[in-house]
Amino acid sequence: MTGCPDRTHRRPLRGRLRLAADGWIHGICQIPSPNCDERPADESPSLHLFPPPACGRGRGGCGDGGSVTPSQESAHHLKTPVSLIVLHNISLPPSHFGGSDILKLFINTLNPAAHPLYPALARLRVSAHFVIHRNGLLIQCVSCRRRAWHAGVSQWQGRPRCNDFSIGIELEGADRVPYTARQYRSLNRLLDCLCRHYPIDAIVGHSVVAPGRKTDPGPAFNPSRLKTPLRVTIKIGA
Ligand SMILES: [Zn+2]
């Protein structure tokens, strides 16, 4: 397994991604992780209704601005308090790209004997909502309606436990290795989708919400390549 077992998912993403009411993006590879739980009740419901995203910001805009109607959007927002996206990197073994160990970690099938670091990792129960491989392959592991276990001890603007109100995206990579054009392309497709469905107001690096503890996605990540609505704050590094 070097990615999605379904060959149709290995082709470049086409068209706009759409998030279904169940929190999954259908038509992309899905490898469900058990490492998730319900988002806390005190974070919902959120009646956060917002206008269609303003496009532009000199970073390429966010596409054509919205084919989803306000009524469709509000149906999502009544149930979804998600307002933050946390970007990460991961490579297993460290700085080794192209294998399947990231997904194995997320579905608790990592072989402890496969690498000296793995016995400790194999005991962890972690996940992210999405993984983007070096070749741009986008895989969803957790429904956006559920809480993935990606940020750990963290806070954003005084609000603790970022997992409660965020979506976690893992880029296959390392802090000082440039991310690929295909990864940025898939990431922007995904961000466009998520920003249309949720009242996202910030996209942050893991290092920002867990300073001193985490360094990802690192200086290799280029925030100027993100295409997001004007309302979204971007803070990737310190
Ligand atoms: Zn991280």
CA–centroid distance, 89 to ligand 1, in Å, is 6
Say how many Å lie between the CA of residue 74 and the centre of ligand 1.
Answer: 30
Q: Measure 70 CA to ligand 1 centroid, in angstroms.
A: 33
- Locate tokens 């996940």: which residue? 127
Residue 88 CA, ligand 1 centroid: distance in Å: 4
> What's the CATH number where 164 sits?
3.40.80.10
**Domain-located, residue 74:** yes
Backbone angles phi, psi at 167, to 5 degrees: -115, 130
Per-residue pLDDT of the chain (238 residues; tens, 9 = 90+): 445 666 666 566 678 999 999 999 999 999 999 999 999 976 443 434 333 333 333 332 222 323 333 334 443 443 448 999 999 999 999 999 999 999 999 999 999 999 999 999 999 999 999 999 999 999 999 999 999 999 999 999 999 999 999 999 999 999 999 999 999 999 999 999 999 999 999 999 999 999 999 999 999 999 999 999 889 999 998 6
Count how many domains the chain has: 1
Answer whether residue 128 is part of any domain.
Answer: yes
Is 14 domain-assigned? no
CA distance 210 to 160: 10
For residue 199, give both structure tokens: 């009242």
Q: Looking at the domain assignment, is residue 4 inside a domain?
A: no
Task: Classify strands 233-235 and 202-205 as parallel, antiparallel or unpaired.
Answer: parallel
Residues in CB range of 44: below 8 A, 6 or more apart = 79, 80, 81
89 within some domain: yes
Report how far residue 3's alpha carbon sits from residue 221's, in angstroms, rounded to the nearest whole number: 22
CB 137 within 8 A of CB 29: yes
Using an 8 Å Cβ cutoff, are 220 and 236 in contact? no
Determine, yes or no, domain membership for 9: no
The range of the structural domain enclosing residue 143 comes to 30-235
Active site residues per annotation: 170
- What type of residue is 124? L
Does 12 map to a domain?
A: no
Residue 44 falls inside a structural domain: yes
Look at residue 6 in the predicted model and tell me its pLDDT: 66
E strand or H helix at 193? helix 181-197
Ligand 1 mean position to 87 CA, how many Å? 7
Residue with tokens 């990792």: 121
Distance (angstroms) between ligand 1 centre and the Cα of 150 equals 7
